[in-house]
């Protein structure tokens, strides 16, 4: 049996998963794949020159120029997760367990912006965005685990996720806590709010930056039939959401049951633990109503567990934590 002695302990609690509401039937489409050095590009962003940037499983930061092939620019020494292009052209990188980093895309030099919050190590920085005034917001999926042990956070079923604000003077403030595996974050096109994804909570919410709701959180899309991951804002303001895997009724029953059962599951070797269902699923939501307005739902023998979706060059680009590829479809193919 594979040793599990190095895993951190889990402390599960009983938790009632949200119900599941259906989404529209989305089209299938012909999926094209590009192999990524280092494998499993968890997030993909596009810069002002139209280059795609992604972080690979082996720590590589990879650039894909328009019309060119992928090239490794740097390596974080950890696991790059969510990315964002800052106003000054640097690439913001959420890395587990390194923290929040910034890459000079010209020199390849990496600086650490945040490696601790509230006196503890930031070991699962998940996604990041920058607003027009230079304020950086980033999510922390959990304080108890790194990405290598993310299943432990899901088994615990604790609202241990957070949204943090990094001010230009370096001050870090937690602005939202109690999130169930905080993940993607992206601004609305008008800058009035941030949209947040809770992977385990299976919902999207808005954290308001302006207006009468400023500083509060309101629901946008709830009771999702899958687990949302990274988010991006489309050219027409729609919010693209990667659905990494469908909701699992068995996992929901386990969450509501005796915690000791999940402790036993955690002790199993990883190959024997439950596996996410393989699917290619992305949805675009209206930023005001939360209605699904476009999407893609299919399967592919070499690509699944989509973790991001971003528009560029008339295509929708997708990353994955289950395949060594960057996938894409024609954007027009996602119309309902």
- All residues at 6 or more sequence positions from 235 whose CB lies less than 8 Å from its CB, including other chains: 311
Tell me: pLDDT of 262 over 80: yes
pLDDT at 6 over 90: no
* CATH number of the domain where residue 295 is located: 2.120.10.30
Q: Give the domain extent around 129.
A: 32-333
What share of the chain in percent tops pLDDT 70? 99
Number of structural domains found in the chain: 1
What pLDDT is attached to residue 322? Answer: 97
In a domain, 119, yes or no: yes
* pLDDT score for 145: 97
Let me know if residue 169 belongs to a domain.
yes
| CA–CA separation, 297 and 312 (whole Å) | 19
Does the residue 13 lie in any domain?
no
Is 4 a residue whose pLDDT tops 80?
no
Average pLDDT of the residues in 235-254: 96
Residue 163 included in any domain? yes
| Positive/negative CA dihedral, 253, 255, 260, 263 | positive
Task: Give 66-93 as a DSSP string.
Answer: TTS--EEEEE-SSEEEEEEE-TTSPEEE
Tell me if 70 is assigned to some domain: yes
Q: Is the model's pLDDT at 151 over the cut of 60? A: yes
On the 0-12 / 13-18 / 19+ scale of CB atoms within 10 A, 232 is: buried
Q: How far does CA 132 lie from the centroid of its chain?
A: 21
**Within a domain: 20:** no
Residue 6 inside a domain? The answer is: no
pLDDT tens-place string over residues 296-335: 999 999 999 999 999 999 999 999 999 999 999 999 999 9
Largest Cα–Cα separation, the chain:
57
pLDDT at residue 1 in the model? 28
Residues 6+ apart with CB under 8 A from 8: 144, 145, 149, 152
Per-residue pLDDT tens digits for 130-149: 999 999 999 999 999 999 99
Instruction: Give the pLDDT of residue 272.
Output: 87
Alpha carbon distance 95, 211 (integer Å): 32
Task: Decide if 150 is inside a domain.
Answer: yes
């Amino acid at each position: 049996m594979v040793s599990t002695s190095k895993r951190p302990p889990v402390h599960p609690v009983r938790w009632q998963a949200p119900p599941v509401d259906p989404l529209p039937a989305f089209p299938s489409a012909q999926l094209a794949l590009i192999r990524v050095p280092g494998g499993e590009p968890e997030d993909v962003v596009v810069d002002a020159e139209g280059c795609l940037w992604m972080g690979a499983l082996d720590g590589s930061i990879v650039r894909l120029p328009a019309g060119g092939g992928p090239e490794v620019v740097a390596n974080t020494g950890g696991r790059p997760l969510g990315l964002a292009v800052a106003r000054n052209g640097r690439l913001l990188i959420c890395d587990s367990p390194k923290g929040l980093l910034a890459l000079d895309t010209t020199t390849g030099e990496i600086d650490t912006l945040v490696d601790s919050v509230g006196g503890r190590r930031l070991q699962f920085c998940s996604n990041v965005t920058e607003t027009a005034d230079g304020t950086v917001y980033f999510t922390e999926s959990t304080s108890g685990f790194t990405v290598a042990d993310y299943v432990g956070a899901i088994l615990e079923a604790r609202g241990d996720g957070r949204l943090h604000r990094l001010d230009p003077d370096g001050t870090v403030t937690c602005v939202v806590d109690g999130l169930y595996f905080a993940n993607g974050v992206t601004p609305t096109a008008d800058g009035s709010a941030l949209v947040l994804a809770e992977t385990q909570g299976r919902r999207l919410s808005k954290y308001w930056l302006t207006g009468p709701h400023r500083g509060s959180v309101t629901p946008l899309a709830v009771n999702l039939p899958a687990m949302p991951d990274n988010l991006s804002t489309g050219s027409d303001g729609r919010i693209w959401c990667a659905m990494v895997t469908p909701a699992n009724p068995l996992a929901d029953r386990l969450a509501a049951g005796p915690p000791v059962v999940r402790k036993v599951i955690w002790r199993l070797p990883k190959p024997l633990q439950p596996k996410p269902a393989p699917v290619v699923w992305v949805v675009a939501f209206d930023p005001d109503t939360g209605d699904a307005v476009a999407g893609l739902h299919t399967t592919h023998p070499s690509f699944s567990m989509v973790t991001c979706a971003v528009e560029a060059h008339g295509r929708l680009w997708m990353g994955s934590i289950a395949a060594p590829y960057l996938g894409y479809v024609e954007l027009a193919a996602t119309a309902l």
